[in-house]
Amino acid sequence: MSGTELLALGLLLVAGFLIGGVISFGRARRWIPAVLLALLAALAVAAAVLRLLPT
């Protein structure tokens, strides 16, 4: 695996943990932290996808 693929994998793992936090906060009905974590998760997934696209 190249460094770019490892970085993308790491970003996807971070996004997975953030999505878990969204679910946890959503069940507790704490919407502001859930929305913030959802935005961070979306940014992490977008960054991972952009890293995997060929230039």
> What tens-digit pLDDT sequence spans the chain (55 residues)?
889 899 999 999 999 999 999 999 999 999 999 999 999 999 999 999 999 998 7
Considering just the CA atoms, what is the radius of gyration of the chain in Å? 13
- Please tell me the predicted confidence (pLDDT) of residue 54: 82
Residue 27: CB atoms within 10 A of its CB come to: 9
pTM metric for this prediction: 0.86
Q: Is residue 2 left, alpha or beta, with left meaning phi > 0 and alpha meaning psi from -120 to 50?
A: beta
